[in-house]
Amino acid sequence: MLLSLGIRDFVIVDRLELEFKPGFTVLTGETGAGKSILIDALALVLGERGDAGVVRAGCQRAELSAEFDSSKIPLLEAWLDENGLADEPGVCLMRRVIDASGRSRAFINGSAATLQQLREAGECLVDIHGQHAHQSLLKPAAQRDLLDGYAGLGELAREVAQDYRDWQVLHERCLAWEKDSAAAAVELEQLEWQVRELQALDLGPEEWSELQVEHARLAHSASLLENAQYAVDLLAEGDQALLSQLNGLIGRINRVVEFDSALGEPLEILDSAAAQMQEAAYGLRHYVQRLDMDPDRLRQAEQRLEQVHDMARKYRIAAEQLPLLLRESAARLAELQQLGSAETLQRQEADARAVYQTKAGELSSVRQLMAQELGSRVSEAMQQLAMEGGRVEVALHALAEGNAHGLEQVEFLVSSHSSLAPKPLVKVASGGELSRISLAIQVVTSKVAAVPTLIFDEVDVGIGGGVAEVVGKMLQSLGAERQVLCITHLPQVAALGHQHWQVSKDVQDGQVVSQIAVLDRRQRIEEVARMLGGVTITDTTRQHAAEMLGV
């Protein structure tokens, strides 16, 4: 249930803090006072797209927030937990900020959220019926959605749509295979041969660079050995070895350093140099001992280099790119192999089609049953709306192959009199009749909806007289089960509300400002009298208003 709505710097509203109650609440006011602004604000909080135009003139941003009691909506509570948006149990606080540049931010229970998340949460909380709902009612898609919503088929309909898409993907794949099978077969054969050849080469990602290094070392092993041995001789093993001479120098300085400490620092440097030279000599001796002079290994390296070079020349790429070519070729080969043969693809398509038809058949069965119930209940409601003898039938027209929406097209047929055969709604309903039929459908479908809050935005347009009172009683009865808000211009409807709000506008500091006031008994009489009498309100009009209000 909607508990409160906060509006700040939105269109012609500077600041409003509204608290809501259960039951049937009516909103009335002069034309242009901004009655629909409340609905527009709530729609934005629930995820509708908005732009900079909703920000009040001269302000930096519009801020909108709504608090809901979610304690009796377990589906929403579970959704909040799953999305990490739960806070205080039983509370859902939704907030939307739109700045003057059009940038929008959204929050649920204080955490940043996306517009999609606002919409998903909003679907569990509020159902808004706009004053132009009867116009969308003429569209086949809207008629289908109404039936599925009434029957609780939303999830099954989504599964059918996904099964249809899966089937179509395989169908297109079959067509593509039939069209390109010859070319694909040639490519498949070439790739199989190419992958086998590259796999046989077995060139690892780092092997090429390692092979080049090893070949260079093996090819110059004699020169490496000669120069390494010369270095060993010069450092440590020759007659005039540098290390021997350096050690002799260190001994001479050691004998005189006690006479002048200034020789200490150069002596330390010479000791360090001797140690490093000794380490270099050890390293060079080890290198000479382990240096590979194997001519067979050199021949093997040369053969491997030639083998890799030949393969690289064949495919006109650098040698180091051969492993990448193998990966790409193997991936493409797997893709072609996955397509399988024509027989495999046809079997997969047939299986997908069978899954779709089975699920779509389940959808059709429930639709058939619920279509009769929906038509009957809407027809009953029409009798109360000055359409005696009129009826609505929900027809299901079979489709040869089906589509993403099932095996049939849903169409609402209407007859305004018992002697007339039902015809498509778009062809027979006048503006007034369409408004009444739309209202009947909305009231009937709302009774089975799971959302706790229903909002009707001037859905009673084109209705008057005794029918208007019936409409009010319908909404009042609905308010006994749900929280119902209705923007209305009919005094007969306004008089039946459990609560009555009046929307007005004023000029403050040169700007038009919209305000909403909760009316007491006396104020309700004045407002209903205004709706009855227009500009001049007489005592007789007030008395009539009081009678309508039952006071």
Residue 430, Cβ density class (10 Å: 0-12 exposed, 13-18 middle, ≥19 buried): exposed
Of 338, 370, 397, the domain-final residue: 338
What is the Rg, in whole angstroms, of the alpha carbon atoms belonging to the chain? 43
Claim to verify: residue 121 and residue 190 sit in the same structural domain: no
Claim to verify: residue 190 and residue 332 sit in the same structural domain: yes
Dig out the tokens for 127 from the structure.
Answer: 């159902």
- Please give the single-letter amino acid code of residue 374: L
Q: Characterize 120-130 residue by residue with b for buried, 16 or more Cβ atoms within 10 angstroms of its Cβ, and e for exposed.
A: bbbbbbbbbbb
Judge whether 411 lies within some domain. no
Of 338, 355, 377, the domain-final residue: 338
Claim to verify: residue 103 and residue 239 sit in the same structural domain: no
CA trace torsion 26, 27, 28, 32 (10° rounding): -150
Q: How far apart are CA 544 and CA 52, in angstroms?
A: 45
Claim to verify: residue 55 and residue 191 sit in the same structural domain: no
Q: Which of 151, 152, 158 is nearest to 394 (CA)?
A: 151
pLDDT of residue 132: 59
Judge whether 509 lies within some domain. yes
Q: How far apart are CA 406 and CA 333, in angstroms?
A: 37
DSSP string, 361-420: HHHHHHHHHHHHHHHHHHHHHHHTTT-TT-EEEEEEEEEEEEETTEEEEEEEEEESSTTS
Q: What is the DSSP letter of 433?
A: H
Q: Which of 483, 428, 402, 410 is nearest to 3 (CA)?
A: 483
Claim to verify: residue 97 and residue 202 sit in the same structural domain: no
Q: How far apart are CA 262 and CA 266, in angstroms?
A: 8
Judge whether 418 lies within some domain. no
Claim to verify: residue 317 and residue 229 sit in the same structural domain: yes
Number of domains present in the structure of the chain:
2
Claim to verify: residue 199 and residue 62 sit in the same structural domain: no
CB atoms within 10 A of CB 316: 6
pLDDT along the chain (551 residues), means of 10: 93 88 91 78 91 90 94 90 90 94 93 93 84 69 89 92 94 78 74 89 80 70 69 77 83 83 86 87 78 67 81 87 87 75 81 95 96 93 84 93 94 85 78 75 77 81 79 87 89 93 81 83 91 81 89 69
Judge whether 138 lies within some domain. no
Judge whether 83 lies within some domain. yes
Claim to verify: residue 303 and residue 220 sit in the same structural domain: yes
CATH for 50: 3.40.50.300
Which residue carries 């593509």 as its tokens? 176
Show the domain range for 258. Answer: 186-338
Judge whether 94 lies within some domain. yes
- Note the Cα 497 to chain centre separation in Å: 39
pLDDT of residue 58: 86
Claim to verify: residue 31 and residue 100 sit in the same structural domain: yes
pLDDT of residue 378: 92
Claim to verify: residue 194 and residue 306 sit in the same structural domain: yes
Of 338, 366, 396, the domain-final residue: 338
60 CB-near residues (< 8 Å, 6+ apart): 9, 99, 100
Claim to verify: residue 212 and residue 315 sit in the same structural domain: yes
CB atoms within 10 A of CB 206: 10
Claim to verify: residue 105 and residue 215 sit in the same structural domain: no
Judge whether 11 lies within some domain. yes
Judge whether 404 lies within some domain. no
